[in-house]
Amino acid sequence: MSRTYHIHHVQGQHITHDMRFHIEIVYNRNLRQPKKTRLSLRQLAKELGLPKSTLHDEIRRGRVPRPNTFKGKDIWDYSAEIAQQAIDIGHLNKGRPMKMNTTMAKLLRVEIVENRRSPYDALAHLRKQGFADLPSERSVYLHVHHGDLGISPSRRKHAKPRRSLKMPGNLSIEERPDLAARDEFGHWEMDTIVSGVHGKGGLLVLIERQTRRYIVEKLLSLSREEVLRALRRILRSGRMTRVLSITTDNGSEILDHAAIESLFRRLGAPKVIVKEKT
């Protein structure tokens, strides 16, 4: 569901350091005038050429901690230095500016809608063109989900499912032996689980069909190289003693079936069987 933004002009004015000293002189002098001749805050703001709300906020920002006495009464003076210190401290607490600005949103919309790229490919293409300080892939997906880029995720809601292509040289799940009886040890299924912490890394999980025994290994990232490293650690630890077949899905992180098969060759040259998604 797209978010609705109400953009309107907010009356106000940026106050410089020199303007604060001028406000200090005019405001403190006005405080010491007789009540009959003293200007109201609205009149004083008009004289200074400022909106009343801006002057009101500025006076509150620069009030001195202790009141001064004038004709037996306590008055709260305005200090330009205290107001400037509050502004400087506020600037230190500012975070980094948003990477998803109007220009970046337009560029991503062109790449995703017109050039029909995924958010990942769109960012990679912009990076090759020399754009720096790009938003993360997760940030782009969130903006797409909220409709900030003018791309409605519901457009593909009723799209016809597309069957994923079969990788050349990979075996289909139909070629796997019938394992319904679960009478033979050594047939494994392998998959990955994405981490819920910032979407980085995850787990490699292998389950033996007969005994339901499972092996879990941590992945620093969901990549082919990291999956191969995890499998090497499992083999060196001796946790997989017999392997007849391995069934996986066709995720991008486990598409290097020739390399996976070579790792298990010393255990009986198992067939890495790929289940096709529909």
Whether 84 and 56 share a structural domain: yes
* SS3 label, residue 269: coil
Q: Could you tell me how many helices (H) and strands (E) the chain has, helices first?
A: 9, 8
Domain membership of residue 10 (yes or no) is no
Interstrand relation of 73-75 and 245-248 (parallel, antiparallel or unpaired) = unpaired
**Helical H segments across the chain, by residue range:** 17-31, 41-48, 52-61, 80-92, 102-109, 119-128, 137-146, 224-237, 257-263
Among 165, 226, 142, 141, smallest CA distance to 192 is for 226
> Is the distance from CB of 275 to CB of 173 less than 8 angstroms?
yes
> Is the distance from CB of 247 to CB of 173 less than 8 angstroms?
yes
Domain membership of residue 183 (yes or no) is yes
Domain membership of residue 187 (yes or no) is yes
Whether 56 and 127 share a structural domain: no
Q: Report d(CA 69, CA 86) in Å as an integer.
A: 24
Q: Which of 156, 179, 195 lies at the terminal end of a domain, its last residue?
A: 156
Per-residue pLDDT of the chain (278 residues; tens, 9 = 90+): 444 434 344 455 678 888 999 999 999 999 888 888 989 999 999 888 889 999 999 999 998 876 777 677 777 889 999 999 888 887 777 766 667 778 888 888 888 888 888 888 888 888 888 887 888 888 888 888 877 777 765 544 444 555 555 555 555 555 556 666 677 888 888 888 887 666 678 899 999 888 888 999 999 888 888 988 898 898 888 888 788 888 887 777 777 777 787 777 765 545 566 555 54
> Is the distance from CB of 116 to CB of 81 less than 8 angstroms?
no
Whether 88 and 106 share a structural domain: no
The verdict on pTM exceeding 0.75 is no
Whether 189 and 253 share a structural domain: yes
Query: Domain total for the chain?
Result: 3
Whether 31 and 118 share a structural domain: no
Domain membership of residue 11 (yes or no) is no
For the packed helices 17-31 and 41-48, what is the interaxial angle rounded to 10 degrees? 140
Give whole-number Cα distances, 93 to 87, 96, 148, in Å: 10, 10, 27
* pLDDT value, residue 176: 58
Whether 106 and 140 share a structural domain: yes
Reading the block at residue 70, the tokens are 């004038």
Domain membership of residue 165 (yes or no) is no
Q: Report d(CA 70, CA 261) in Å as an integer.
A: 90
208 beta partners? 188
Residue 128 belongs to what domain range? 102-156
Interstrand relation of 202-208 and 187-194 (parallel, antiparallel or unpaired) = antiparallel
Residue with tokens 């009343």: 52
Domain membership of residue 81 (yes or no) is yes
Q: Which of 92, 114, 143 lies at the terminal end of a domain, its last residue?
A: 92
Whether 189 and 267 share a structural domain: yes
Whether the CA torsion 96, 99, 103, 105 is positive or negative: it is negative
* pLDDT value, residue 9: 40
Whether 176 and 117 share a structural domain: no
Q: Report d(CA 135, CA 105) in Å as an integer.
A: 10
Q: Report d(CA 123, CA 212) in Å as an integer.
A: 41
Domain membership of residue 4 (yes or no) is no
Domain membership of residue 57 (yes or no) is yes
CATH of the domain at 181: 3.30.420.10
132 beta partners? none
Whether 178 and 227 share a structural domain: yes
* pLDDT value, residue 5: 39
Whether 77 and 113 share a structural domain: no
* pLDDT value, residue 217: 92
Whether 113 and 195 share a structural domain: no
Rg of the chain over CA atoms, in angstroms? 33
Residue with tokens 């609705």: 4
Q: Which of 39, 67, 92 lies at the terminal end of a domain, its last residue?
A: 92
* pLDDT value, residue 58: 92
Whether 118 and 200 share a structural domain: no
Torsion of CA 248, 251, 254, 258, to 10 degrees: 80
Q: Report d(CA 246, CA 171) in Å as an integer.
A: 11
